[in-house]
Amino acid sequence: MEDLFAVYGASGCGRGVMPLARQQLVQAGIAPERLVFVDDGLGPERVNGQRLLTYAQFLAEPAGMRHAVLAIANGTVREKLAARLAQDGVQSWSVQAANVVRMDDVELGEGAALSPFVTLTSNIRVGRHFHANLYSYVEHDCVIGDFVTFAPGVKCNGNIVVEDHAYIGAGAVIKQGVPGKPLVIGRGAVVGMGAVVTKSVPAGTTVVGNPARPLRAD
Ligand code: UDP
């Protein structure tokens, strides 16, 4: 029995990941018919020519192994769904564009989704279910946690730690840290689009602007 592959999430993020997944499978000699969208909230039977299944249908479809990449930008949702996949014996699947650049000594956790023109340079550790959207980069000696999301065009320079569940908005620039004293983006922090981050951001804090400062609630 042949394996079955899924892009979980058929909204904006999923529709961007699907062509990469399809290309990756075709290159591995696997028929694109073995690739489906899975979504818990969308109706039509096909999205951009690809079958759309509910999660229950995905589990019921005859298959050898089942594989899924979580193509949903919200890291908390990805964590919830990753637990569901693990419980049901579905393998976490990593998908990346053909033109992603990965240099030396890059450890990439399971379930990553790397969009076109992403670059990961050397000596980098990345946790589970990382999303790096179009044109983002991660420079040398960075440590990226689990369920971290980079919107398009994030510039994550050298010696930076990005803790679990941080979300970095489009076009944000993060100043490099120094060896042994990294700049830290804390757990669950949000960096607004276009922010210029010059110092560490505490866990759970949203920062915006240039230089980036905590968002005030007024
Ligand atoms: N979704 C899902 N299961 C969940 C939560 C979300 O299938 O538990 C789907 C939801 O139905 C939607 C997609 O994930 O189609 C999320 O799309 P959204 O436009 O919110 O954001 P995106 O991650 O695509 O930017």
Pocket test for ligand 1, best of 15, 37, 39 (most atoms within 8 A of CB): 39
pTM score, whole prediction: 0.97
Residue owning tokens 């029995």 = 1
In which band, very low, low, confident or very high, does the pLDDT at 218 lie, cut at 50, 70 and 90?
low
Name the phi and psi angles at 23, rounded to 5. -65, -40
DSSP 178: B
Ligand 1 centroid to Cα of residue 9, in Å, is: 5
Residue owning tokens 């949203």 = 206
Which among 93, 109, 140 is the end of a domain? 93
pLDDT value, residue 43: 72
Do 71 and 173 belong to one domain?
A: no
Question: 217 in a domain, yes or no?
Answer: no
175's tokens: 């100043």
Computed over every residue of the chain, the mean pLDDT equals 97
Ligand 1 centroid to Cα of residue 100, in Å, is: 25
Tell me the residue range of the domain where 166 lies: 96-209
Question: 41 in a domain, yes or no?
Answer: yes
In which band, very low, low, confident or very high, does the pLDDT at 44 lie, cut at 50, 70 and 90?
confident
Strands 137-138 and 155-156: parallel
Ligand 1 centroid to Cα of residue 131, in Å, is: 14
| Residue 124 contacts residue 144 (beta carbons within 8 Å) | yes
Do 67 and 84 belong to one domain?
A: yes
pLDDT value, residue 95: 98
Do 166 and 122 belong to one domain?
A: yes
41 lines ligand 1 (CB under 6 A): yes
Nearest-CA residue for ligand 1 atom 10 is 41
Nearest-CA residue for ligand 1 atom 5 is 77
Tell me the CATH number at 72.
3.40.50.20
Which among 93, 124, 153 is the end of a domain? 93
Cα 35 versus chain centre, distance: 19
Query: How many independent structural domains does the chain possess?
Result: 2
Which among 51, 76, 93 is the end of a domain? 93
- Closest by CA position to 168, among listed 127, 128, 138: 138
- Closest by CA position to 207, among listed 185, 190, 184: 190
The residues, ordered by sequence, that sit 6+ positions from 67 with a Cβ below 8 Å of its Cβ are: 3, 4, 5, 6, 90, 91, 92, 93
Question: 109 in a domain, yes or no?
Answer: yes
Do 79 and 183 belong to one domain?
A: no
Catalytic residues, which ones? 140
Tell me: the pLDDT tens digits for 138-180? 999 999 999 999 999 999 999 999 999 999 999 999 999 999 9
Residue 91 burial class via C-beta count within 10 angstroms: exposed 0-12, middle 13-18, buried 19 and up = middle
Tell me: the pLDDT tens digits for 79-130? 999 999 999 999 999 999 999 999 999 999 999 999 999 999 999 999 999 9
Do 87 and 137 belong to one domain?
A: no
